[in-house]
Structure 1
Amino acid sequence: MAENQGNFTDPSTEIQEKLLDAALMHVAFDGWTPATWDASVADSGVDSTLAEALFPRRAVDLAVAYHKRGDAMMLARLKEADLGSLRFRDRVAAAVRYRLEAVEDKEAVRRGATLFALPQHAAEGAKLIWGTADAIWTALGDTSEDANWYTKRATLSGVYSSTVLFWLGDDSPEHQASWAFLDRRIDNVMQFESLKAQVNKNPLLKPLLAGPNWVMSHIRAPERREDLPGRWQPRV
């Protein structure tokens, strides 16, 4: 019985994937809209009541599922890749690149960016980007438990978001311009981190940061819950 459980596939997951695949045939034309939702249900042959149970917000939840599928593909590629010889900043760049290369239909991402730019869905879009940044840091072995847990993910969220927007308009061969843009953004972050270190070491400036540093030292990574992004490790 235990052996069979190891190979068990949740039927609902298969149905979700079926609906998402059907939706992608229409997103380029109709976006993540009710029209795409109706078409995905009709084309997939999934019962409409079951479909709505799996995706209560219909097309919005399909867009969320599409984003999370890309995250899963990126993580699978990271797991197989040998990045040990790379500098850490290059590992981060590779992860972001893998995430974008997981996209088979750029128009689906463009339509998603439009959807999550709407005020009513902006919070969901920010959550998805944060989740991608968190997935990257977790996969690369981040063990931060202080304020760095937040700053790393916030910074990478900004890098990822700006790179996606550039990539959407990039028509250079094999997106070389996008990868160069990504490298520049990461270099900017590294320069800022270097500046922070220099300021903290400066005997004249260090006293000015005593208060902010004290506050930051008391910030901890969130206790892992299923509704929070990040990685949960029980405290010993």
Structure 2
Amino acid sequence: MSRMIADHSSFGLGASFKNTSDKDSASDEEAVDEKSQVLRAAMSHVSRLGWTESALVQGAKDAGLSPAIVGSFPRKDAALVEFFMDECNRHLEDEVEAREKELSSMLLAERIAQLVRLRLQMQIPFLSKWPQALSIQAHPMNAATALKQRAVLMDDIWHAVGDRSTDMDWYTKRALLGGVYAATELYMLTDYSPGHRDSWAFLERRIKDAIDCRKTAQEASQLAQAVGMGLSNSLSSLFSRGSQM
């Protein structure tokens, strides 16, 4: 039987299946590439149109594609926010590599604050529309991806500052940083100081407090819970405003 299968392959059956698979793969890659083009082009319209289908339609036109392609995005507004988050996280990796020498000369708290600041600065051009983005991320259909993206970001930041822990402290440190990051992210939305200097001062205080409170895993966990509770109330109010924009 094995010889018969081999003989069939020699008549081109195997090549036929391979060619079909290659065509499907090429088609899938082309579709993904076109979607990326739309998402990238749509970003230039977010500050005016928000994280919306309208921004995607304009992006498709800018990319020279039919606006009908927008229908292939199952979660249109979420796709745009998630694309932006992934792009920012990748850009932060490049910043870490470029600033390796500079970061190595800083104290731990300074390194963490600098990386969080670099990441949050990427959102400044879209700050007026960021409540809408947070509202989209909080939607039950999108929350899992949003949490994963933020978890990866916290892990990348800790890894970049030299943390290699694998015990339970690994979780509490990331929970703490996630709370500090989110609190600063919200603070920025109502900060009108020049260059957002009040936000960066707020960030530095929160980072220092978080590191000082990391005397034990229990203290860190308690602080993370306290930050989370206060943040939850703030987000509820913010999301309700964002959904009305």
- Which stretches in structure 1 are left out of the alignment for 5+ residues? 1-9, 200-236
- Which stretches in structure 2 are left out of the alignment for 5+ residues? 1-28, 220-245
By percentage of residues, which structure has more helix? Answer: 2
- CA change 1:130–1:59 in 2 (3 A) is same
Partner of 1:106: 127
Partner of 1:76: 94
Partner of 1:160: 181
Q: Secondary structure at the match of 1:126?
A: helix
In the alignment, is residue 151 of structure 1 matched against residue 172 of structure 2?
yes
- CA change 1:105–1:31 in 2 (3 A) is closer
Residues 73 and 102, structure 1, Cα contact 8 Å, conserved in 2: no
Take 2:71 and 2:162, find their aligned partners in 1: how far apart are those partners? 37
Residues 37 and 63, structure 2, Cα contact 8 Å, conserved in 1: yes
Residues 27 and 36, structure 1, Cα contact 8 Å, conserved in 2: yes
- CA change 1:63–1:74 in 2 (3 A) is same
- 32-41 vs 163-172, greater mean Cα deviation: 32-41
Residues 167 and 175, structure 1, Cα contact 8 Å, conserved in 2: yes
The one-letter code of the counterpart of 1:123 is: A
Take 1:197 and 1:112, find their aligned partners in 2: how far apart are those partners? 32
In the alignment, is residue 25 of structure 1 matched against residue 44 of structure 2?
yes
Q: Secondary structure at the match of 2:214?
A: helix
Partner of 1:42: 61
Percent identical among aligned pairs is 33
Deviation by residue 1:95-143 (Cα, 9 ceiling, x = unmatched): 0011012233323433311211334333332222222111211222321
Structure 2 counterparts to residues 1-236 of structure 1, below 5 A = 15-47=34-66, 55-81=73-99, 82-103=102-123, 104-194=125-215, 196=216
**Count of residue correspondences:** 188
The one-letter code of the counterpart of 2:152 is: G
Larger CA Rg, structure 1 vs 2? 2
Residues 93 and 182, structure 1, Cα contact 8 Å, conserved in 2: yes
- CA change 1:24–1:150 in 2 (3 A) is same
Q: Secondary structure at the match of 2:141?
A: helix
Residues 77 and 136, structure 2, Cα contact 8 Å, conserved in 1: no
Take 1:164 and 1:96, find their aligned partners in 2: how far apart are those partners? 10
Q: Secondary structure at the match of 2:104?
A: coil
Q: Secondary structure at the match of 2:62?
A: helix
CA-based RMSD = 2.7
The one-letter code of the counterpart of 1:133 is: M
Take 1:198 and 1:66, find their aligned partners in 2: how far apart are those partners? 35
Could you tell me how far 1:47 is from its partner in structure 2? Answer: 4.8
Residues 27 and 111, structure 1, Cα contact 8 Å, conserved in 2: no
Deviation by residue 1:26-71 (Cα, 9 ceiling, x = unmatched): 3234322222233322332235676666x54333112101011111
TM-score by length of 1: 0.69
